[in-house]
């Protein structure tokens, strides 16, 4: 039987680019992408052994040598990942906390934006920082991926033990229906969704587009009150400084 190399796990606070990273890595000729969030290491996780048997079988069947899985909430379970897969590689996706705050607000509404946006971003990134010096964990800023995709991806594939393939950036042209329909059963053009289009269809449209920069959305999407809440939060500012993001409220 073909040898399966240690897997890749993509983690990070929601709305930080975990899905687009999954989409891109799955376009590599040697990587099989798991098209669902398994929650293997959370309380809602599926049966571990059954998953492992199936994913290894599908990886070999597709002619790949390793698989990649994405569950954002695994960011709080990195130690469990290494306990089950000692040789695994973990990619932690990072995004400007203000943009995450704004993005999650768009999804859940202003009433839950602080608890499910700002507070979640702080808790998730604090959890990941415990592994900042681990050689099997790589932190990747979404903004860097958008600015310098080839450089960032070359670094990532070397990290997982493979060689960079230019075709990875053609992920949005890939005819693999499994990975092009992660969130919905079809790809719907964004303009047909309307201002309040279904969240799942909008996200599915986004992961089928080439990489584009969508930064500083917080300046228009957050209210002045929400901006002040963020800039008065010491934990948020500490994390912004650690990841080298600008922390001036110049909106």
The arithmetic mean of pLDDT across residues 196-219, rounded, is: 66
Report DSSP letters for 69-121, one per residue.
Answer: EE-GGGGG-HHHHHHH-TT-EEEEEE--HHHHHHHHHHHH-HHHHIIIIIHHH
Which one is predicted more confidently, 111 or 213?
111
Residue 197 predicted with pLDDT over 60: no
Please give the residue that has the higher pLDDT: either 159 or 37: 159
For the segment 85-129, what is each residue's pLDDT rounded down to a tens digit? 999 999 999 999 999 999 888 877 777 778 888 999 999 999 999
C-alpha to C-alpha distance for 153 and 157, rounded to whole angstroms: 6
Q: What is the mean pLDDT of residues 185-198?
A: 51
How far is the C-alpha of 80 from the C-alpha of 185, rounded, in Å? 32
Q: What is the reported pLDDT for 18?
A: 94
User: Sorting pLDDT into bands at 50, 70 and 90, what band is 185?
Assistant: low
| Rounded Cα–Cα distance for residues 2 and 107 (Å) | 42
As a three-state string, the secondary structure of 41-78 is CCCCCCCHHHHHHHHHHHHHHCCCCEEEEECHHHHHCH
pLDDT digits (tens, 9 = 90+) for 8-48: 999 999 999 999 999 999 999 999 999 889 999 986 556 78
How many CB atoms sit inside 10 A of residue 193's CB? 14
Predicted confidence at residue 204, as pLDDT, reads 59
Q: Which domains does the chain have, with CATH numbers?
A: 8-242 (3.40.50.300)
In terms of Cα–Cα distance, which of 191, 89, 77 is closest to 137? 89
What are 162-175's pLDDT values in tens digits?
999 999 998 877 65
CA Rg value for the chain: 18
Is 179 within 8 Å of 64 (Cβ atoms)?
A: no
Instruction: Note the pLDDT of residue 187.
Output: 54
> Does the pLDDT of residue 60 top 90, yes or no?
yes
The closest of 158, 71, 90, 101 to 128, measured between CA atoms, is 90
CA–CA gap between residue 251 and residue 249 (Å, rounded): 6
What separation in angstroms does the CA of 1 have from each of 48, 161, 216?
Answer: 21, 20, 49
Residue 2: what pLDDT? Answer: 64
pLDDT of residue 195: 44
Confidence class of residue 207 from pLDDT cuts 50, 70 and 90? Answer: low
What share of the chain in percent tops pLDDT 90?
61
Of residues 188 and 64, more confidently modeled: 64
pTM over 0.75: yes
Kindly tell me the burial class for residue 50, based on how many C-beta atoms sit within 10 Å of its own C-beta (0-12, 13-18, 19 or more): exposed
Instruction: Calculate the CA dihedral of residues 137, 96, 169, 29 and round it to 10 degrees.
Output: 20
Residue 174, pLDDT score: 65
The predicted model gives 140-145 an average pLDDT of 96
Residue 216 or residue 52, greater confidence: 52
Residue 32 β-bridge partners? 67
- The two structure tokens encoding residue 250: 């110049």
pLDDT band at 70 (very low <50, low <70, confident <90, very high): very high
So what's the pLDDT on residue 108?
74
Q: By C-alpha distance, which of 181, 178, 182, 152 is closest to 164?
A: 152
């Amino acid at each position: 039987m073909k040898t399966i190399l240690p897997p890749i796990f993509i983690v990070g606070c929601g709305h930080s680019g975990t899905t687009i990273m999954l989409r891109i890595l799955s376009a590599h000729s040697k990587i099989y992408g798991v098209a669902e969030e398994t929650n293997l290491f959370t309380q809602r996780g599926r049966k571990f052994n059954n998953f492992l048997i199936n994913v290894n079988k599908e990886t070999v069947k597709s002619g790949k040598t390793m698989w990649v899985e994405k569950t954002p909430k695994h960011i709080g379970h990195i130690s469990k990942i290494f306990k089950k897969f000692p040789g695994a590689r973990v990619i932690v996706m990072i995004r400007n906390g203000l943009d995450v705050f704004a993005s999650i607000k768009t999804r859940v509404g202003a009433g839950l934006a602080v608890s499910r946006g700002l507070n979640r971003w702080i808790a998730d990134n604090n959890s990941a920082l415990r592994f900042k010096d681990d050689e099997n964990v790589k932190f990747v800023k979404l903004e860097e991926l958008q600015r310098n995709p080839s450089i960032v991806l070359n670094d990532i594939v070397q990290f997982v033990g493979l060689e960079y393939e230019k075709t990875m950036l053609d992920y949005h042209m890939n005819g693999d229906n499994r990975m092009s329909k992660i969130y919905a059963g079809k790809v719907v053009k964004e303009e047909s969704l309307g201002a309040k289009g279904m969240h799942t269809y909008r996200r599915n449209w986004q992961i089928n587009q080439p990489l584009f920069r969508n930064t500083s959305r917080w300046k228009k999407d957050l209210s002045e009150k929400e901006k002040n809440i963020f800039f008065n939060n010491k934990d948020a500012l500490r994390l912004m400084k650690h990841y080298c993001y600008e922390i001036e409220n110049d909106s």
